[in-house]
Chain A
């Protein structure tokens, strides 16, 4: 078990850049939707839509994209370390 912990810790340690990128992607996605002052305004308009309204609409596909990227990066992290990672199943019960 301790072995498993050190292994996942070392995954972060072995790829500090990828790990940081995942953290930044997810944190930025949360920040730009939580921090309302960025988008609580009328202009610039997109067509007839005031900024506040089209920003929220556009943010949804962006969230999908950001989380997809994060998941791809996580896969890369996992692929490097989990060659023997069948230990997660079965042994628990």
Chain B
């Protein structure tokens, strides 16, 4: 395991150097007159059309963790892992309903973060702070998991894995991280937007090749599905139950249809409340570009479905299955599969694709978290008169701090901890639904009722997730638990509790005539499609030069 394949290694390094160059060159791409504005550094000038937005959002939403964790879940548990496939289908009709409204109101008012919208809609700094806090909290472990994804690839490559010294062991990770941090600092959102083109090309390439080539080596799809079906039906010696499911069951407990559907629905509603997804959306130039991406992005979901099937290929390939069993880490299933199936040069391309696939979302996430901190904590509570230039500088530094925090997460804490936090992140971010999605359609909810509901949802979700146990772990065993005798996604239960409380408290607070705060948005602004970039940005469209 510790020997390094020179061809694979060289190709990864070469592609990494190219990406680094592109990351720095991106600062000059669509350059505006005044770059020291958050609309520029944090949102790439708010001028991306349908085409660039497709690459940016695709590169943003489908993270390295997706490429590693979804097949890992499929490898370990079978069909339940395909909830991620179902979720990337239903997310687009769901988002089609509310995302264009969010884009319009943010464009009209020059909002940079989702918490800016909450602030403007409800006139409440407290509620905006709660949403910013949730966003940052959910993003930290998510960025850490991008680094964990890079580590999984490096481990299989045999780079640094044999040393016991943490620093030497993670040196390649530190280097990748440092490069990422610097080009994000310099180029802002332009860097991941441009690198996303390389990422998507590499990933399309290796996924399509893998999907046509690997089955020929494994005796065809019939054999892959057959082996998987038999494998998941076999009884595990540890738990005394089947290893997994090949199709979600119609029972009430376990990997059931309800569990599958609630995981998919909860994740779909949550996806576009993640600050990095909103950052990618707000960078679009026109309302139509956002809508058209809901039409084109499902093409990216096809990739995810095929990647999920890699989990079954890993089951059907005895060498890969044995390698994974030896390390006891299902996250390594896809890297091992590629290493065993592909010639070493193509393994290099695939591994580089996964590593670059981690850098793009990590950059966007750190920008999104930095913007939240700058706009909704620093400017709001410490320096109300911060100039655009100061805000931009603040965000640049905050992006470094956020990434450093994520690096500590990835290196110092056990990986299972990061993964649990990431699961929890999904539960947490879902608790923004009543104030965010609700707020896009109605001002009926009272701000303090929303805050109370949010608090209840966060508390319930965290405690419920902590208490989930199975045969091998006593806490955080899964993101579903049993309610009224049925297995269901914790996030969905929590957001229902959240919503009920928000409704009840709204009725009470309205009856008590508690001040509701001022709403600076107007109904028609939710459907507006301004021709030009926001007026206060001196040069929003780089094409003018």
Where the two chains meet, the residues of A that have a C-beta atom closer than 8 Å to any C-beta of B are 1, 4-5, 8, 26, 29-30, 33-37, 40-42, 47-50, 52-53, 56-57, 59-61, 63-64, 66-68, 70-71, 87-90, 92-93
Cβ contacts B147-158/A at 8 Å (1 or 0 each): 000000000000
Lowest 8 CB-CB distances: which A-B pairs, in order?
A4-B524, A88-B528, A48-B221, A89-B530, A48-B222, A36-B257, A33-B90, A29-B93
Where the two chains meet, the residues of B that have a C-beta atom closer than 8 Å to any C-beta of A are 79, 82, 85-86, 89-90, 92-94, 96-97, 104, 108-110, 220-222, 224-225, 246-250, 257-258, 260-261, 264-265, 291-292, 294-296, 298-299, 301-302, 305, 309, 522-525, 527-532, 534-536
Q: How far is the CA of A59 from the CA of B530 in the complex (A)?
A: 34
Interface pair B79/A52, CB less than 8 Å apart? yes
- Please name the residue on chain A nearest to B94 by beta carbon: A30
Contact of B247 among A1, A52, A59, A88 (CB under 8 A): A52
Q: How far is the CA of A79 from the CA of B257 in the complex (A)?
A: 42
Q: How far is the CA of A42 from the CA of B220 in the complex (A)?
A: 18
Interface pair A61/B298, CB less than 8 Å apart? yes
Interface pair B305/A60, CB less than 8 Å apart? yes
> Which residues of B are found within 8 Å of A87, using beta-carbon distances?
524
Interface pair A26/B97, CB less than 8 Å apart? yes
Q: How far is the CA of A53 from the CA of B106 in the complex (A)?
A: 39
Given contacts A57-B305, A88-B525, contact A64 B299 (CB under 8 A): yes
Interface pair A41/B292, CB less than 8 Å apart? no
Given contacts A56-B305, A57-B305, contact A1 B523 (CB under 8 A): yes
Contact of A56 among B82, B92, B104, B536 (CB under 8 A): B82
> Which residues of A are found within 8 Å of B529, using beta-carbon distances?
88-89
List, sorted by A's number, 14 A–B pairs whose CB atoms are closer than 8 Å.
A4-B523, A5-B524, A29-B93, A33-B89, A34-B265, A36-B257, A37-B250, A48-B220, A48-B225, A52-B247, A53-B309, A61-B299, A88-B525, A93-B535
Contact of A90 among B93, B249, B291, B535 (CB under 8 A): B535
> Which residues of B are found within 8 Å of A70, using beta-carbon distances?
96
Q: How far is the CA of A59 from the CA of B188 in the complex (A)?
A: 36
